[in-house]
Amino acid sequence: MKRVAVLTSGGDAPGMNAAIRAVVRTAIYHHLEAVGVMRGFEGLIDGDFVPLNRASVGGIIHRGGTILKTARSERFKTEAGLDRALFQLKNAAIDGLVIIGGDGSFRGGQKLYEKGVSVIGVPGTIDNDVAGTDETIGFDTAVNTALEAVKKLRDTASSHDRLFIVEVMGREAGFIALEVAVASGAEYLVVPELPFSLGRLCDKLHDTRARGKTHSLIIVAEGAMSAATLRSELKDTAGYDARVTVLGYIQRGGSPTSFDAILASRMGAFAVESLLDGKKGMMVGTVAHQMSLCSLSDSWQVNKILSPEKLELVEKLSI
């Protein structure tokens, strides 16, 4: 193996730059050449490659976003797009490709792997909805960003004796919502993984008020329903007048937490060393804090579940 390429794909996540840095520096450490692919699979199709050296990844470990930029590529889903990407990889004499992204990016990586490319995936998404790893790069930062906002909302909710609904990201999954709910002491959590009952929520709000609690916080995952819909349902059914905050893309930005910067550094380095070990069609991860590998397809075929213990905590501690 002589030349390793790295790309970021899908939604950006804090810590992607730290992962790029780790891939490049580990490659150079092992006397390999490193190449960056701009704009994910779009840049792969266009042959938009940049040589990366030790200095090109200096001063980026703490920066949010991705210096390689990212995209959601429709062209790569076509036969012509895939063929063009294969041609560009061959033309640039790339022997190994590290893909930093979520399960959508790994589906793309799987197609390249099936055509003979040595692909290793590094899970980078704020959603944490990738099986085969306990955490994805960016998740911890997104949770902390959301938590900071929720703590501020708690101040105003309590001062005005108000009910607040906060919508967090997560695509089809409730991982961000669950962590934020536990850490903020939310009174109620709505996630796509569990059936929602408006009746149960109204009963809970009624009970907490009857016990003298004058403000409440509901965390809703975007994949379950919008905060606006929940607000209308609460108003129409029980007359509750809730305030709504949608945290949105702010959750994707910012400097990675120490947890994410370290996770990204470990994963990026392990990805290159796995390629050197002859591994391909695999994703790096951490299981019980140890570095691990699983097949790329596990990342979307295996069901990753919310922690039953944490779900119970939200229920138990919000009495």
SS3 sequence, 29-95?
Answer: HCCCEEEEECCHHHHHHHCCEEEECCHHHCCCCCCCCCCCCCCCCCHHHCHHHHHHHHHHHHHCCCC
Verify binding: residue 304, ligand F6P, rule CB under 6 A: no
**Residue 127 annotated in active site:** yes
# binding residues, ligand F6P (CB under 6 A): 11
- What does the per-residue mask of binding to ligand F6P show for 212-251, with x meaning CB under 6 A? ----------x-----------------------------
127 vs 260, beta carbon nearer ligand F6P: 127
250 DSSP assignment: G
**Binding map of ligand F6P across residues 101-120, x = CB under 6 A, - = no contact:** -x------------------
> Is residue 170 within the footprint of ligand F6P (CB under 6 A)?
yes
Is residue 126 close enough to count as binding ligand F6P by CB under 6 A? yes
Q: Is 125 in the site for ligand F6P (CB under 6 A)?
A: yes
Residue the block writes with tokens 């580990």? 26
Catalytic option among 46, 95, 127, 134: 127
Instruction: Select from 14-22, 47-55, 121-129, 225-233 the region that touches ligand F6P (CB under 6 A).
Output: 121-129
252 binds ligand F6P (CB under 6 A): yes
Pick out residues in 127-146 that bind ligand F6P (CB under 6 A). 127
167 is in an annotated binding site: no
Nearer to ligand F6P, 67 or 86 (CB): 67
Q: How far is Cα 307 from Cα 193, in angstroms, rounded to an integer?
A: 11
Neighbour count for residue 314 (Cβ, 10 Å): 20
14 binds ligand F6P (CB under 6 A): no
Closest among 274, 295, 279, 313 to 180, alpha carbons compared: 313
126 is in an annotated binding site: yes
Q: What CA–CA distances, in Å, run from 243 to 163, 164, 171, 224, 251?
A: 6, 5, 22, 18, 20
Is 77 known to sit in a ligand binding site?
no
Q: What is the largest CA-CA distance in the chain?
A: 70
The CA-atom distances, in angstroms, between 135 and each of 126, 128, 187, 314 are 9, 6, 25, 20
Number of neighbours of residue 289 by Cβ within 10 angstroms: 9
Residue 172 labeled ligand binder: no
Residues of this chain that interact with ligand F6P (CB under 6 A) are 11, 72, 102, 125-127, 169-171, 222, 252
